[in-house]
Amino acid sequence: MTDLKNTATTFASLSLAASTLDNLTQLGYTQMTPIQAASLPLALAGRDLIAQASTGSGKTAAFGIPLVEKLDPAQFDAQAMILCPTRELADQVTQEIRRLARAVGNIKVVTLCGGVALRGQTVSLEHGAHVVVGTPGRIMDHLERGSLSLQGLKMLVLDEADRMLDMGFFDDIAKVARQCPKDRQTLLFSATYPEGIAKLASQFMREPQTVKVQAQHDAQKIKQIFYEVSNNERLHAVSQLLNHFRPESTLAFCNTKQQCRDLVTVLQAQGFSALALFGELEQRERDQVLVQFANRSCSVLVATDVAARGLDVANLEAVINVDVTPDPEVHIHRIGRTGRGDAEGLALSLASMDEMGNVGKIEQLQNRESTWAPLSSLAPAAGGILQPPMATLQIVGGRKEKIRAGDVLGALTGDAGFAKEQVGKINVNEFSTYVAVARSIAREAVKRLSEGRVKGKTVKVRLLEDASGR
């Protein structure tokens, strides 16, 4: 096993096509992350690989670059397939593969997940695809119906394999793997290493190499503070943290769905813009929650570990551990979502006396004592309840209606008369388009867009409900 901590090498040291290197430079990829440095030489050499690395470590590029390098644009068969545990992760992976494949030519990437009608996916597959990204259940559906063939498959990737096993996908993965050519390359990525991984590897991989990147963080980049609480003051303590530190974007972790619901109710009642993310939400609701948090329309996302897997939000200022996790590696993964790149992050944890044993495990893994502060030190900062800078408009119509982000931006900055700086992130989904606008212009933007046109057509527009519940 290769165990790497802080290896960093340039992509130019790899045997990559010049066009790939140029594209990586344009995308801002210069230095390899530790998991990329460990896995890319092996993957590019055609070896099967088991790589242990957390979300945000750069693992998508670690399998995406060798995948793209092996594609033949002229061959319209499924040449690579990536299995993911959730639709959100599949969507993120699809977008990243498209970015990485820009240098190769006209590469078609198809996403096959539940929550979307089978028919549209089937029609898309009829016209061929180079790369398939999807969840095991929906991939199985297409294989059973004969709408997906894996005869030309060169590479199978299992992304967040531990999470797929947690969700009970072992048998589906096994069935999919059996339908892949035996001489394919298999890459398996996982944050943890449960025994099911070894079972998968023994059944479906050929002499896999194993690489592991230690899940640790620079103590200088992520400021960690623990606060002792009693159970009955825990939820209120979250609002004390928010009022004191005033982070623009916070991910709050709870150990249970019920705790998520209770915390969101408390925060919304106090005027905070907060939304919950847990397993039972319908896909449409999940999409809307994630969009609002990522585009700065919601200040606090309250989630369980399961729901947050695969979630990668840029510029996350703070992580709050509302409950201390019993698994110290999960704690490391949680706090590692802040302090990315050159940014500094804040990790705040609430711990009762009952949880001190879990805190001890975290200290042991991090090899350092925790920093503690009293709740009484949390005086509210000036400025009142922090409100998010943006609000989200939902436009009825998306990719099916050939709407593009540029069309929406053009409508807002053209006839509607808003400045480009007042428009934020634009997400175009299958049937809906979400656009972030400055909170101060939100209602006027709804009015002007509804009265105007997008791509020459009138559209229905609504303001997504204020996440503070008001």
Nearest to 340 by CA among 189, 217, 211, 213: 217
Tell me the percentage of the chain whose pLDDT exceeds 70.
Answer: 94
| Same-domain pairing of 196 and 234 | no
Say which CATH number the domain at 441 has. 3.30.70.330
In a domain, 331, yes or no: yes
| Same-domain pairing of 239 and 327 | yes
Sorting pLDDT into bands at 50, 70 and 90, what band is 309? low
pLDDT per position as a tens digit, 96-134: 999 999 988 889 999 999 878 888 999 999 988 999 999
Mean of all residue pLDDT scores within the chain: 89
| Same-domain pairing of 240 and 359 | yes
Does the pLDDT value for residue 227 go beyond 50? Answer: yes
| Same-domain pairing of 7 and 89 | yes
In a domain, 384, yes or no: no
In a domain, 290, yes or no: yes
Query: Which of 349, 377, 405 delimits the end of a domain?
Result: 377
Query: Which of 213, 247, 272 delimits the end of a domain?
Result: 213
| Same-domain pairing of 13 and 104 | yes
pLDDT per position as a tens digit, 324-356: 999 887 888 888 888 876 678 999 999 999 999
| Same-domain pairing of 94 and 202 | yes
Give me the number of domains the chain comprises. Answer: 3
For the chain, what percentages of helix, strand and coil (3-state, to nearest 5) are there?
40, 20, 40
| Same-domain pairing of 146 and 6 | yes
Say which CATH number the domain at 361 has. 3.40.50.300
Among the ranges 72-76, 108-112, 191-195, which has the highest mean pLDDT value?
Answer: 108-112
Q: Give dist(CA 423, CA 418) in Å, integer.
A: 8
| Same-domain pairing of 406 and 446 | yes
pLDDT per position as a tens digit, 268-304: 999 999 999 887 777 788 889 989 999 999 999 999 8
Per the CB < 8 A criterion, the answer to whether 289 and 279 are in contact is: no
Q: Which residue has the tokens 């329309």?
A: 297
> What's the pLDDT at 470?
43
| Same-domain pairing of 185 and 236 | no
| Same-domain pairing of 394 and 354 | no
**C-beta pairs of 407-416 under 8 Å, 24+ apart in sequence:** 407/454, 407/455, 408/433, 408/435, 408/454, 411/449, 411/452, 411/453, 411/454, 411/455, 412/437, 412/445, 412/448, 412/449, 415/448, 415/452, 415/453, 416/445, 416/448, 416/449, 416/452
DSSP string, 95-149: HHHHHHGGGTSS--EEEE-TTS-HHHHHHHHHT--SEEEE-HHHHHHHHHHTS--
Total Cβ atoms within 10 A of residue 206: 12
User: What mean pLDDT comes out for the span 135-158?
Assistant: 95
Strands of 345-351's sheet in order across: 222-228, 345-351, 318-321, 250-253, 300-303, 274-277
| Same-domain pairing of 22 and 133 | yes
Sorting pLDDT into bands at 50, 70 and 90, what band is 1? low
In a domain, 385, yes or no: no
Query: Which of 319, 348, 377 delimits the end of a domain?
Result: 377
Sorting pLDDT into bands at 50, 70 and 90, what band is 443? very high
pLDDT per position as a tens digit, 310-319: 676 778 999 9
Does the pLDDT value for residue 362 go beyond 70? Answer: yes
| Same-domain pairing of 348 and 436 | no
Boundaries of domain holding 251: 222-377
